[in-house]
Amino acid sequence: MSITLRKLDSSHPDFNAQLSAVLAFEAEEDHAIDQAVVGILADVKARGDAAVLDCTNRFDRLSADSVASLELKREELQAALDGLSPVRRAALQAAADRVRAYHERQKQECGSDGFTYREADGTLLGQKVTPLDRVGIYVPGGKAAYPSSVLMNAIPAKVAGVQEIIMVVPTPNGVKNELVLAAAAIAGVDRVFTIGGAQAVAALAYGTATIPQVDKIVGPGNAYVAAAKRRVFGIVGIDMIAGPSEILVLCDGSTDPDWVAMDLFSQAEHDELAQSILVCPDSAYIEKVEASINRQLADMPRHEVIRTSLTNRGAMIKVRSMEEACTIANTIAAEHLEISAENPQQWGDQVRHAGAMFLGRFTSESLGDYCAGPNHVLPTSRTARFSSPLGVYDFQKRSSIIQVSEAGAQTLGKIAAELAYGEGLQAHAQSAEYRLRKS
């Protein structure tokens, strides 16, 4: 049974509306889930460890007698690492090393040293940059447990200088994911608790007797985890709440169609809601990719997921030119943008909105997912219009520095007082005026 992907043509008068329909995705907010989460958050806030223990035993079908017993010892992480095959261990270590090297560079380049400058009258202004003290990383249990995500979340925090990283990962029925634990060992995670769900988010946000309160919680989770993160936002920091994963491939029509088909599969295999879109000026090439999709699909172990994803959410867009493809890329603001073309940089330069750009025929998205170095936690659902890949900067924050000299206070005090009176804030004005020299 062959797949037929939705075809769009940018010269069609209804193209913009058709494209909007393809992109439309709204995370359903489930009121029942949200209410359950509100209850769990309140319970953990009130009862601490006891509530975490109850929830964990109930939802993950365990019979632990304390939260402390749910903490994994460092030796257990190391044992997981030592248990890997040499090839897999080397691959994980190589990936970690490259991710660390990229984020070290990012730290250097993104203003991590802060700055100060002195004005003529001696006034000093600047910005101090400091790491967060303690961060929580949520790692899903079960099928969506990705060791690569452990690296991508923990390493930037480490590079930023976060002193303590607490990982939480549920172990339903007591089943541990050895590859995830090995990744935690490599990434330098400080403590690991085998808890999950809204109760884990609550424990990290409020702190309990056993689990220390963190300053920020990052990492993906199911609908309960997402609802809990939304609710604790403000008490702690959170990363973006991710939607389904997406790939947008701009192709000039001369990459091997099998490569592009497989790149579309690599997104579609994540889950049924994932979105894979090909944009190309060559309609014959689009047909070749579709033929390749149908030729290769049966060989894919996850062909059912791929079929559903491509049928429901995939699309192939014929455009008039690569320039137009870039304009469409700016509208879509994709999480992953592959530019599979000669001189890809010229097209990349025209794209303002994308989570990550994979340039050139040899840059399959999967290289970036695992080991190129840049982060694979990227803004989804068009949020690349206003947000960024997870990075060192997400684990740092800034403080403004203002040291006004006595001379500076004479100039600034008059300006501030004038504006403060204008806003009806007399204490503000007088506080500035006290610093004026009596004359």
Q: Which residues are annotated as a binding site for substrate?
A: 245, 267, 270, 336, 369, 423, 428
Catalytic residue among 336, 338, 365, 376: 336
**Is the Cα torsion angle 13, 335, 263, 280 positive or negative in sign?**
positive
Q: Does residue 146 interact with a second copy by CB under 8 A?
A: yes
Smallest distance, Å, CB 384 to a second copy?
7
Q: Does residue 155 interact with a second copy by CB under 8 A?
A: no
Complete DSSP assignment for 28-91: ---HHHHHHHHHHHHHHHHHTHHHHHHHHHHHTT---S-SGGGEEPHHHHHHHHHTS-HHHHHH
Q: Does residue 426 interact with a second copy by CB under 8 A?
A: yes
Which residue from 28, 234, 284, 298 is in contact with a second copy, where contact means CB under 8 A? 234
Q: Does residue 309 interact with a second copy by CB under 8 A?
A: no
Amino acid at 125: L
325: CB partners within 8 A, 6+ apart: 250, 279, 280, 281, 319, 347
Which residue from 33, 273, 300, 308 is in contact with a second copy, where contact means CB under 8 A? 300
Annotate each residue in 42-81 with x if it binds a second copy (CB under 8 A) or - if it does not, as one string.
----------------------------------------
Q: Establish whether 335 is a catalytic residue.
A: yes
Query: How many residues bind to a second copy according to rule CB under 8 A?
Result: 124
How far CA 318 is from CA of 14, 179, 251, 277, 294, in Å, comes to: 14, 42, 10, 11, 19
Which residue from 12, 58, 302, 320 is in contact with a second copy, where contact means CB under 8 A? 302
CA–CA separation, 212 and 148 (whole Å)? 25
Q: Which stretch binds a second copy (CB under 8 A): 4-12, 46-54, 111-119, 283-291?
A: 111-119
Residue closer to a second copy, measured from CB, 53 or 205: 205
Residue closer to a second copy, measured from CB, 70 or 232: 232
Q: Which stretch binds a second copy (CB under 8 A): 74-82, 92-100, 165-173, 194-202?
A: 92-100
CA–CA separation, 178 and 294 (whole Å)? 35
Binding residues for NAD(+): 138, 199, 222
Which residue from 22, 50, 124, 273 is in contact with a second copy, where contact means CB under 8 A? 124
Q: Could you say which residues in the range 188-207 bind a second copy, by CB under 8 A?
A: none
Binding residues for Zn(2+): 267, 270, 369, 428
Q: Does residue 244 interact with a second copy by CB under 8 A?
A: no
Q: Does residue 391 interact with a second copy by CB under 8 A?
A: yes
394 in Cβ contact with 383 (< 8 Å): no
Residue closer to a second copy, measured from CB, 62 or 220: 220
Which has the closest alpha carbon to 7: 317, 227, 261? Answer: 317
Q: Which stretch binds a second copy (CB under 8 A): 184-192, 193-201, 232-240, 319-327?
A: 232-240
Residue closer to a second copy, measured from CB, 205 or 315: 205
Interior CA angle at 391 toward 146 and 220, to 5°? 35
Question: At 402, which helix (H) or strand (E)?
Answer: strand 396-403
Smallest distance, Å, CB 346 to a second copy?
12
Which residue from 193, 285, 347, 370 is in contact with a second copy, where contact means CB under 8 A? 370
Annotate each residue in 258-287 with x if it binds a second copy (CB under 8 A) or - if it does not, as one string.
xx--xx-xx-xxx-----------------
Binding residues: 138, 199, 222, 245, 267, 270, 336, 369, 423, 428
Which has the closest alpha carbon to 190: 217, 162, 171? Answer: 162
| Exposure letters 287-311 (e unless 16+ CB within 10 A, then b) | ebbbebbeebbeebeebebbbbbbe
End-to-end CA distance of the chain: 91
Q: Does residue 227 interact with a second copy by CB under 8 A?
A: no
Smallest distance, Å, CB 293 to a second copy?
11
Q: Establish whether 336 is a catalytic residue.
A: yes
CA–CA separation, 40 and 60 (whole Å)? 15
Residue closer to a second copy, measured from CB, 68 or 367: 367
CA 149 to chain centre: 9
Q: What is the DSSP letter of 299?
A: G
Neighbouring C-alpha atoms within 13 Å toward the C-beta of 294: 11
Catalytic residue among 246, 269, 290, 335: 335
